């Protein structure tokens, strides 16, 4: 029983990693007042780029760099559309999602001729796992040994980075001048403008952060968690991350909690595949998988707690003359 | 961007700017074709031939057009009340479920015309219900419609997988699909209608739900511009505060608009299940809901514009299939790219050329 739990938690950490990166990305963007439903598209494009470049250069790190660049480009496109030209932020996000889905498949098929997939990555082109010191020795110790060697040790660098990114984001957003300004731009842009700070520049800076984080999320999915890019690889994880962002009420620690909860649900769903539960019959996997969406809808409806979005979210800033 | 605030003549706003945006979307598409080593002009030729060059192609084009009219109108009706319904995907899916459940229950006992009428009603009802909940949550609980409709797309998808795998699957079948519906639940094909009057037309999935779509477009025009409800919808959409002073209850108007929006999206189920698939199965709705956004944006939320934009998208879909068939290094996803570009340039970047044009006007008048 304990072993099963440890294995499930181990899987939870792996599954939560892209959610954490993407949800933090969303936090930067939405805290600055820009709706970001294009997390999915940025992740997908980054996943494709990471796999393609890592395959061509045989270097996981070059793949990651390229993934970040592509994701940042999409974030800047979002910025040009909805900050510079005051376009509808939701429309822009939808466009980026659709564009990423189409482009990854079109370019993938034409470049690699494998039906839109990228070729399998060799170990050198992937991110390998990191074993903690003494993990092998600890394995035999009951419970603690399992937690240390199975759950905490043996992930790749992204997993640890994701968990470090949460306190870092908290510090950046809530303890620095940059963070104060970024949050102010999302709550009351006029006040920020009055203080002589460019609203547009702050929003672009926030989108830059979002782009970088989505790059990490995408590269993790295709070149660390898996060893190639396949069609629609992100499979809605960008939207789950968005749900986690809302569920965590746009705050770093609760968002981490939401990501872990959603990741845990996913890990449980995989584990329960085809398992008979006494008295209930087969577990309805679809229900467990749908729980993040249901929880988010219920939360948004204010049935427990209240998620209050940044006040200026979705509104393009118009300087008055 | 200075020029963004300047007022421009109407013909520039509704004519020139949209035209420039569409042209830009097409030019960038051409760049993508060039990136994958396809001559854009050659591709355009194949696309056009595939969509309009022969009878079967035309049939397919109009069959896709039918779905796009439904989802395009759905997005537009919600737009008029100021809501952005990106749940067309889920509403179309659940609309199909409505058709499937009704026909599976009644196709043995109810005569054809009645059954078809009932299944259209069922599609509308199920689609409307699926849109009503996010609408209600927005109107009365303040939860944002965009987020809830995204969530409802996923919920629709999970629900359908559950039902198809565990409840509705034909016994003894591996594939998650229901039994075939009795022929009384099939909509007449256009080629059969033509054959009945002695005209030969190649077989295609095109069926009479195209007429339902055109009827809906006309109905939407009457509803939005000629009725009291439509007036209220447009009033709430343009100024909610003013609507309240005029004695309109915005929450109720929003619910009405969302329900109609969902019902329209639900009709995709009629075209797909009654018209073509003749059984309930997974993912028959795929992509139509999102394409509806592009259709509504291109069509400027007006039924005539939407029918034309739907025809363009129908042609793109069918032409894209032809392109994928003709060229080994192209797949149908190139159409998804073009769709994304249309949404980007006609929707998100709709003011892209405004500063430039505004400058030109300034110089002329100065």
Please tell me which of the candidates A98, A236, A297 has its beta carbon nearest to residue B339: A98
How do residues B256-303 score in pLDDT, each as one tens digit? Answer: 999 999 999 999 999 999 999 999 999 998 889 989 998 998 888 999
* Residue A203 domain-assigned (yes or no): yes
The mean pLDDT of A16-22, rounded to a whole number, is 96
Contact between A13 and A263 (Cβ < 8 Å): yes
Residue A67 inside a domain? The answer is yes
| Percentage above 90 pLDDT, chain B | 68
Domain assignment present for residue A273? The answer is no
- The DSSP output letter for B342 is H
Biggest alpha carbon distance in chain A? 71
A168 in a structural domain:
yes
* A167 in a structural domain: yes
Instruction: Identify the domain containing residue A80 by its residue range.
Output: 16-128+136-234
Q: How many domains does chain A have?
A: 1
The answer to whether residue A240 is domain-embedded is no
Residues pairing with A271 in the sheet: none
- Using CB atoms, which residue from B150, B341, B351 is nearest to A87? B351
Its sign, for the CA torsion B276, B279, B283, B288, is positive
Please tell me which of the candidates A102, A296, A297 has its beta carbon nearest to residue B340.
A102
Domains of chain B: 15-25+55-171+184-351 (1.10.3470)
Least confident span in A70-79, A214-223, B147-156, B346-355: B346-355
Using CB atoms within 10 Å of the CB of residue B10, give its burial: 0 to 12 exposed, 13 to 18 middle, 19+ buried.
Answer: exposed
For residue A207, pLDDT over 80 is answered with yes
Which A residues in the span 222-241 are in contact with B, Cβ-Cβ below 8 Å?
236, 239
Chain B hits for A235, Cβ within 8 Å: none
* Distant-in-sequence, close-in-space partners of B167: CB < 8 Å, separation ≥ 6: none
Report whether A85 contacts A30 (CB < 8 A). no
- Residue A44 in contact with residue A104, Cβ under 8 Å? yes
In a domain? residue A68: yes
Given a contact cutoff of 8 angstroms between Cβ atoms, the answer to whether B64 and B314 are in contact is: yes
How much is the pLDDT for B165?
A: 87
Say whether A95 and B146 touch across the interface (CB within 8 A): no
- Mean pLDDT lowest among A135-139, B135-139, B202-206: A135-139
Instruction: Kindly tell me if the per-residue pLDDT of B79 is higher than 80.
Output: yes
Whether A108 is in a domain gets the answer: yes
Q: Which of B219, B248, B246, B222 is nearest to B233 (CA)?
A: B248
For residues B104 and B125, what is the distance between their CA atoms, to the nearest angstrom?
17
Please state at what angle helix B288-298 crosses helix B333-342, rounded to 10 degrees: 40
Give residue-wise pLDDT tens across range A112-122.
Answer: 888 778 888 88
Nearest to B354 by CA among A86, A201, A121: A86
- Among A284-298, B4-18, B129-143, the range scoring the smallest mean pLDDT is B4-18
Predicted confidence at residue B37, as pLDDT, reads 87
Of the candidates A179, A206, A181, the residue with the CA atom closest to the CA atom of residue A191: A181
Given an 8 Å threshold on Cβ–Cβ distance, is A87 in contact with B347? yes
Average of per-residue pLDDT values in chain A: 89
């Amino acid at each position: 029983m304990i072993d099963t739990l440890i294995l499930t938690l181990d899987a939870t950490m792996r599954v939560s990693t892209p959610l954490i990166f993407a949800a933090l990305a969303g936090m930067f963007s939405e805290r600055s007042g820009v709706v970001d439903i294009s997390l999915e598209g940025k992740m997908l494009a980054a996943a494709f780029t990471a796999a393609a470049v890592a395959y061509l250069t045989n270097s996981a790190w070059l793949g990651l760099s390229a993934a970040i660049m592509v994701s940042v480009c999409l974030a800047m496109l979002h910025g040009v559309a909805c900050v510079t030209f005051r376009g509808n932020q939701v429309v822009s996000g939808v466009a980026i999602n659709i564009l990423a889905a189409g482009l990854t498949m079109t370019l993938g098929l034409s470049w690699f001729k494998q039906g839109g997939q990228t070729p399998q990555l060799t170990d050198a082109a992937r991110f390998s796992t990191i074993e903690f010191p003494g993990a092998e020795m600890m394995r035999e110790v009951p419970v603690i040994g399992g937690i240390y060697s199975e759950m905490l040790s043996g992930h790749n660098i992204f997993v640890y980075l994701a968990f470090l990114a949460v306190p870092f984001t908290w510090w950046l957003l809530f303890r620095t001048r940059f963070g104060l300004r970024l949050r102010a731009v999302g709550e009351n842009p006029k006040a920020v403008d009055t203080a002589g700070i460019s609203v547009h520049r702050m929003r672009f800076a926030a989108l830059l952060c979002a782009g970088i984080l989505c790059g990490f999320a995408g590269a993790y999915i295709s070149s660390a968690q898996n060893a190639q890019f396949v069609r629609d690889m992100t499979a809605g994880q960008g939207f789950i991350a968005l749900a986690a962002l809302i569920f965590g009420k746009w705050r770093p620690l609760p968002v981490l909690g939401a990501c872990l909860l959603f990741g845990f649900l996913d890990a449980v769903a995989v584990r329960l595949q085809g398992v008979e539960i006494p008295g209930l019959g087969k577990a309805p996997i679809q229900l467990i998988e749908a729980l993040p969406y249901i929880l988010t809808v219920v939360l948004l409806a204010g049935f427990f707690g209240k998620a209050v979005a940044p006040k200026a979210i979705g509104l393009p800033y118009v300087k008055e003359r | 961007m200075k020029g963004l605030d300047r007022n421009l003549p109407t013909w520039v706003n509704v004519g020139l700017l949209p035209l420039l945006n569409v042209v830009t979307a097409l030019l960038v598409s051409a760049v993508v074709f060039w990136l994958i080593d396809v001559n854009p002009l050659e591709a355009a030729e194949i696309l056009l031939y595939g969509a309009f060059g022969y009878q079967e192609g035309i049939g397919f084009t109009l069959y896709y057009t039918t779905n796009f009219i439904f989802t395009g109108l759905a997005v537009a009706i919600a737009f008029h009340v100021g809501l952005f319904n990106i749940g067309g995907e889920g509403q179309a899916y659940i609309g199909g479920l409505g058709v499937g459940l009704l026909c599976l229950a009644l196709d043995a006992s109810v005569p054809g015309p009645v059954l078809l009428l009932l299944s259209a009603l069922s599609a509308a009802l199920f689609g409307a219900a699926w849109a009503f909940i996010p609408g209600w949550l927005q109107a009365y609980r303040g939860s944002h419609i965009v987020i809830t409709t995204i969530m409802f797309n996923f919920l629709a998808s999970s629900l359908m997988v559950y039902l198809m795998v565990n409840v509705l699957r034909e016994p003894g079948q591996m594939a998650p699909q229901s039994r075939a519906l009795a022929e009384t639940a099939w909509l007449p094909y256009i080629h059969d209608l033509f054959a009945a009057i002695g005209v030969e037309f190649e077989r295609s999935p095109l069926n009479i739900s195209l007429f339902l779509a055109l009827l809906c477009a006309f109905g939407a025009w009457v509803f939005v511009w000629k009725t009291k409800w439509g007036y209220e919808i447009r009033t709430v959409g343009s100024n909610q505060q003013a609507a309240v002073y005029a004695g309109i209850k915005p929450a109720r108007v929003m619910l009405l608009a969302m329900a109609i929006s969902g019902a329209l999206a639900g009709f995709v189920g009629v075209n797909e299940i009654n018209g073509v698939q003749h059984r309930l199965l997974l993912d028959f709705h795929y992509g139509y809901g999102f394409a509806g956004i592009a259709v509504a944006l291109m069509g400027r939320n007006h039924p005539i514009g939407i029918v034309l934009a739907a025809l363009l998208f129908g042609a793109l879909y069918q032409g894209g299939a032809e392109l994928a068939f003709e060229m080994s290094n192209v797949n149908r996803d190139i159409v998804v790219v073009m769709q994304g570009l249309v949404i980007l340039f006609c929707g998100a970047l709709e003011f892209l050329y405004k500063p430039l044009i505004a400058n030109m006007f300034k110089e002329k008048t100065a």
